[in-house]
A and B are shown apart, each in its own frame.
Chain A
Amino acid sequence: MAEGEETRRAIERAARQSYGKLLAFLAARTRDVAAAEDALAEAFASALARWPQQGVPRAPEAWLLTVARRRASDAARRRRTQVDAAGPLVLLADELQAATVASDIPDDRLRLMFACAHPAVEPAARAPLILQTVLGLDASTIASAFLVAPASMGQRLVRAKRKIRDAGIPFRVPERDELNDRLGAVLETIYAAFAEGWSDPAGTLPRRRDLAEEAIWLGRLVVTLLPDEPEALGLLALMLHAEARRGARRDTGGRYVPLAEQEPVCWDSALIDEAEAALARAGAMGRIGRFQLEAAVQSAHAARRLTGRTDWAAILELYDALLAQTGSPVVAINRAVAMTELRGAAAGLALLDDLAVDRRLAEYQPYWAARAGLLARVGDAAAADHAYEQAVALEADPAVRRFLQDCRARLHSTPAGGRRSHGRGAHDPGCRGRIDRLRRKP
């Protein structure tokens, strides 16, 4: 029994660690993402059937690829696709014979990401496609992250894979002149993956923690490969800042701790330093963008470890710039919260009211949580109660849910329940300097 368990764990480990790499290897050589997925799924099924008897092979990834290649090549013979599958697959076999250890298998994930983010792929499908293929996320998880119904997300993914295969979209890193446009989609995707993994703050679900780590890994990879792209650095800085606060989001009793109440000593200063260095490098390149601005917001929060205060005026300015760049309702919610810290809850609430026309927000937890907090602060307990109820219902994380339930309970115990004091501060010169640098147009 212990042996069977061991084998199952080996398969799960291979699936988690290698899925994207194996899929990228197969898809990059056949251009048929769906067929590569099918072949790989069959290879994992074979592993489940055979490894318990035969033992885990010395090079599990190469074993999986060899089986998957055989499946893909059978499938191609049965249903002759437009891409001549025979040529690439012969090449594949040669490469695989040389690959006896995992590290010998070439890493084609970046090529796969650029294929998925190709301009000929439907824009709304690009990020979901990278999440599904490179990180192995299932379609329903992706759908919920993108506020889309699972069925439409499924169709979107199928259409995109067909387009890649039938239109002959190449698996390669774009040339200099087309890189900027294509990189934006890739970076957004990496960030979406990171956010997905970061939402498990306790790190109790290994798959989700891996996702955040994998996203940071992908972020570093892009920075290494494209060292002159400030937005890639901005994204890396943003993710590192968030990662630095992972542990601080829970107290020793496992209770949720909002950012404003976190102790800066609980933040990972090495990660913050690395984030600051990346952001400084990006800033020096003089090409501002969404990710650098978001990282600068995180940098302003992190400055509290040195100043003991949060510079909300600086943060509001950064959100102004972000809103102008992205028009994102999520940015607008954060901006309303920053406005509250500067001008009071009524001002913040007025901004949130303007957003209520966006129907997507009706199912967006941060909207309801922000709204509830602001309503409590202006003393509208009845409306706050309703908003907390919505926020609790939409929250998947038990610790955050408990936190929101506690806030809701306090509405009825004190007249100004839920009111919290936040450090509101003098301007941190370091932070101001950064904003000025970021605002300067090249």
Chain B
Amino acid sequence: MKYMLLIYQNEATSQARGEKQTAEFMGAYMAYTKAMRESGAYVAGDPLTLSSTATTVRVADGRAKVLNGPYAETKEQLGGYYIIDVADLDAATAWAARCPTAQAGGVLEVRPIRTM
């Protein structure tokens, strides 16, 4: 089954990381992604830019309303995603738990991808 791992992080925490810590964190992500590829679970994955770069669009009465900022102003913001193909939910949550952001206090949401 395919799952999307949505990675939520406190942006203040990630921005407060020093240069060395950031390099370590990136290294952890590279190792994580490599392990995911080698296991055959990896389908796709990308980091996102800060939520301050987000733009929200709503259509009301046929007209698009474009607004500055993310959809929800929460403490944790969506910071990246992976799509993985694994046997079941337990395998997906095991990958989620190994994610460097989860290890650093972030939150991962695991969502099955709907096949049409």
Contact = CB atoms under 8 A, between A and B. Distances in A.
Interface string B1-43: 1010000000000000000000000000000000000000000
Interface of A: 80, 82-83, 118, 120, 166-170, 172
Given A82-B112, A82-B114, A82-B115, A170 B1 contact: no
A170 B90 contact: yes
Interface string B81-93: 0000001111011
Nearest to B111: A167
A168 B88 contact: yes
Interface in B86-110: 87-90, 92-93
B83 to A, nearest CB: 14
B43 to A, nearest CB: 15
A168 B92 contact: yes
A80 B115 CA distance: 9
Given A82-B1, A83-B1, A170 B115 contact: no
Contacts of B90: 169-170, 172
Contacts of A118: 89
A99 B93 CA distance: 35
Contacts of B93: 120
19 contacts: A80-B115, A82-B112, A82-B114, A83-B1, A118-B89, A120-B89, A120-B93, A166-B112, A167-B112, A168-B3, A168-B87, A168-B88, A168-B89, A168-B92, A169-B88, A169-B89, A170-B87, A170-B89, A172-B90
Interface residues of B, number: 11
A167 B93 CA distance: 11
Contacts of B92: 168
Q: Which of A168, A169, A172 has the most CB of B within 10 A?
A: A168
Contacts of A83: 1
Contacts, number: 27
Contacts of A168: 1, 3, 87-89, 92, 112
Contacts of A120: 89, 93
A83 B90 CA distance: 15
A169 B92 CA distance: 10
A166 B113 CA distance: 9
A170 B114 contact: no
A167 B115 contact: no
A169 B3 CA distance: 12
Contacts of B89: 118, 120, 167-170
A166 B114 CA distance: 8
A397 B90 CA distance: 44
A120 B93 CA distance: 10
Nearest to B90: A170
Nearest to B113: A82
Given A168-B3, A168-B88, A169-B90, 17 more contacts: A80-B115, A82-B1, A82-B112, A82-B115, A83-B1, A118-B89, A120-B89, A120-B93, A167-B112, A168-B1, A168-B87, A169-B89, A170-B87, A170-B88, A170-B89, A170-B90, A172-B90
A390 B89 CA distance: 47
Contacts of B112: 82, 166-168
A315 B113 CA distance: 53
Q: Which 9 A-B pairs have the closest CB atoms?
A: A170-B88, A168-B1, A168-B89, A168-B88, A169-B89, A167-B89, A170-B90, A82-B115, A167-B112
A80 B3 CA distance: 18
Contacts of A167: 89, 112
A159 B1 CA distance: 20
A442 to B, nearest CB: 27
A168 B90 CA distance: 8
Q: Which of A118, A120, A167, A172 has the most CB of B within 10 A?
A: A167
Contacts of A170: 87-90
Contacts of A82: 1, 112, 114-115
B2 to A, nearest CB: 9
